[in-house]
Amino acid sequence: MITHTPHRVALTSAALVAAGLIVTSSSATAQETLRGAADEQGLRIGAAVANGPLSNESQYRDVLSTEYNGVTAENSMKWESLQPSQGQFNWSDADEIVDFAQSNGQSVHGHTLVWHSQTPNWVQNLQGQDLQDAMENHINTVMGRYAGDVESWDVVNEPIGDDANLRNSFWMQELGEDYIAEAFQIARSADPNAKLYINDYNIDGINAKSDAYYDLVSDLLDQGVPIDGIGFQGHRVLGDVPSSLEDNIRRFAQLGLEVQLTEIDIRIDTPASDSELEQQRDNYEEMVNACVSVNGCVGVTTWGITDRHSWVPDQFDGQGAALPFDENYNKKPAYYGILEALGGEGDPGNGNGNGDTACEVNYSANDWGGAPGFTASVDITNTGSGTIDGWTLEFTFPGDQTITDSWSADWSQSGADVTATNASWNGTIGPNQSISIGFNGSYTDSNPAPTEFTLNGEPCTTG
Ligand code: 9MR
């Protein structure tokens, strides 16, 4: 069907917004930030916070307060920071983070009370009852100070090793495995309102280590040990999100626990290519989606905000680019992956996060030889990671072409401007899928091909 009246808005803009295809205005609505979208879902979107940039960089503070509704101290609530020598507590860095959170209406997840790492030598050198007393004193003092300010605590961090056995740490050696239950008992009485977590890495998927956690936590719960939640840290490598993540979250939730992804980052060999950043977007989206999909999963935290400040390059030579903001605080594709998983509206869902090309158009015209007529076929490929659900293609003829007959879309032409909207049966284009539409046209002198195409207002590449 062909009409020659202007027919530029085949789908109302409301319909496009509903389909997640366009950004309607420049003024941010709540769901155009991670924080707004997470708030809508009743979920925590947290960031690990470092004191250096918190004190020194206004952009860091701005992004942290705008985009996140929760914070975790990256280092300043660890034992070595809070009680570097026995009985001497140093609160200033931890307080700075708690104060910031309170000023900005954010919840604080405490990290961490009992760990084998970043715990001073004076603790590691204690024996038996002395170590037990130090643990009790530390938990009581720290949780007591922040009671009402810190919503949840990683009470015991990483108590199981990579071999899926209880880690043979100084805690284990001196106190036996009961130290875990005892830490939780002490924590419950230190602040009865705080949620008490156990937390570890490489337990995101169903594997021997997460199985060991499942058994450990089930036993602790059976014994009446007050454990409220489990944190899957979520330090991942590009392309390595376990497919069992959601099922794993669900099985722990079914024990009655809260689950959080507490330390997400996804590292890439640097420099990261555009396609790797796209893949990272998908990986982030998958991880956050897994949490969103399970009722007991209460939130996700990224281990940092910006690639400018991340533990990854320090720890893994040649790797980095692991966080949702780049080194200059620009939103990366990963940001939009998280936003989309949280049901946010800020991104056209086109897979590249920059609001530009999500489509490729291949236009080819077959001249009928001699006669001033031609048949054009137009192939549209969705090059983004999201599904396109309803589309409008627009382009302009460079010459005096006129469409005379058309198919597979609702075509219209106004002057040299052409608009095609989907037919009822080809409105949905999945990622990497193509559809083909076409028309017959006539012209006078020459038949140059159009060179610029937009789909739902977004420019497409041409093949
Ligand atoms: O990001 C933290 C980094 O700045 C510290 O140097 C490091 C020391 O162990 O700890 C990092 O945070 C870790 C967290 O406390 C526990 N899970 C793994 C995190 C990354 O190593």
* Per-residue pLDDT tens listing for the chain (463 residues): 454 443 333 333 334 334 433 333 334 556 789 999 999 999 999 999 999 999 999 999 999 999 999 999 999 999 999 999 999 999 999 999 999 999 999 999 999 999 999 999 999 999 999 999 999 999 999 999 999 999 999 999 999 999 999 999 999 999 999 999 999 999 999 999 999 999 999 999 999 999 999 999 999 999 999 999 999 999 999 999 999 999 999 999 999 999 999 999 999 999 999 999 999 999 999 999 999 999 999 999 999 999 999 999 999 999 999 999 999 999 999 999 999 999 998 654 444 334 445 899 999 999 888 678 999 999 999 998 888 888 889 999 999 999 999 999 999 999 999 999 999 889 889 888 999 999 999 999 889 999 999 998 788 999 8
Tell me, in angstroms, the distance from the centre of ligand 1 to residue 310's CA.
Answer: 10
Ligand 1 atom 12 nearest Cα: 74
Give the ligand 1 atom nearest the CA of 233: 17
Instruction: List, for residues 286-343, the tens digit of each pLDDT value.
Output: 999 999 999 999 999 999 999 999 999 999 999 999 999 999 999 999 999 999 999 9
Does the pTM of the predicted model rise above 0.85? no
Whether ligand 1 lies within 6 angstroms of the CB of 106 is answered as no
Q: Residue 89 CA to chain centroid, in angstroms?
A: 35
| Confidence at residue 11, expressed as pLDDT on a 0 to 100 scale | 35
Ligand 1 within 6 A of CB of 385: no
Question: Which residue owns the Cα nearest ligand 1 atom 21?
Answer: 311
* Angle at alpha carbon of residue 51, lines to 49 and 53, rounded to 5°: 85
pLDDT of residue 352: 39
What are the tokens at 121? 């030598």
**pLDDT at residue 15, as a whole number:** 41
Q: What is the pLDDT of residue 2?
A: 53
CA-closest candidate to residue 77, choices 111, 43, 32: 111
Q: Residue for token digits 């530009």?
A: 356
Is ligand 1 within 6 A of the CB of residue 118?
A: yes
Distance 39 CA to ligand 1 centre (A): 27
Closest Cα to atom 4 of ligand 1: 311
Query: Which ligand 1 atom sits nearest the alpha carbon of residue 117?
Result: 9
Please tell me the distance between residue 115's alpha carbon and the centre of ligand 1 in angstroms.
11
Is 263 one of the annotated active-site residues of the chain? yes
List every span in the chain annotated with CATH 2.60.40.290.
359-462
CA of 422 to the centre of ligand 1 (A): 50
- The CATH 3.20.20.80 portion of the chain extends over 13-341
* Phi, psi of 160, rounded to the nearest 5 degrees: -115, 140
Any ligand 1 atom below 6 A from CB of 66: no
Which one-letter amino acid corresponds to residue 358?
A: A
Identify which of 263, 315, 323 to mutate to test ligand 1's pocket (most ligand atoms within 8 A of the CB). Answer: 263
Determine whether 285 is an active site residue.
no
21: CB partners within 8 A, 6+ apart: 348, 349, 388, 389, 390, 391, 456
Question: Is 233's C-beta closer than 6 angstroms to any atom of ligand 1?
Answer: yes
- Catalytic residue of the set 74, 151, 258, 263: 263
> How remote is the CA of residue 118 from the centroid of ligand 1, in Å?
9
Q: Provide the pLDDT for residue 156.
A: 98
Nearest CA to ligand 1 atom 3: 311
CATH fold of the domain at 13-341: TIM Barrel (3.20.20)
Q: How far apart are the first and last CA of the chain?
A: 27
| Side-chain half-sphere exposure of 47, counting CA atoms within 13 A | 32
pLDDT at 25: 34
Cα of 414 from ligand 1 centre, angstroms: 60
Domain 359-462 adopts which CATH fold? Immunoglobulin-like (2.60.40)
Cα–Cα distance for residue pair 289/337, rounded to 1 Å: 9
3-state secondary structure the chain: CEECCCCCCCCCHHHHHHCCCCCCCCCCCHHHCHHHHHHHHCCEEEEEECHHHHHHCHHHHHHHHHHCCEEEECCCCCHHHHCCECCECCCHHHHHHHHHHHHCCCEEEEEEEECCCCCCHHHHCCCHHHHHHHHHHHHHHHHHHCCCCCCEEEEEECCECCCCCECCCHHHHHHCCHHHHHHHHHHHHHCCCCEEEEEECCCCCCCHHHHHHHHHHHHHHHCCCCCCEEEECCEEECCCCCCCHHHHHHHHHCCCCEEEEEEEEEEEECCCCHHHHHHHHHHHHHHHHHHHCCCCEEEEEECCCECCCCCHHHHCCCEECCCCECCCCCECHHHHHHHHHCCCCCCCCCCCCCCCCCEEEEEEEEECCCCCEEEEEEEEEECCCCCEECCEEEEECCCCCEEEEEECEEEEEECCEEEEEECCCCCEECCCCEEEEEEEEECCCCCCCCCCEEECCEECEEC
Q: Which residue has its alpha carbon closest to ligand 1 atom 1?
A: 311
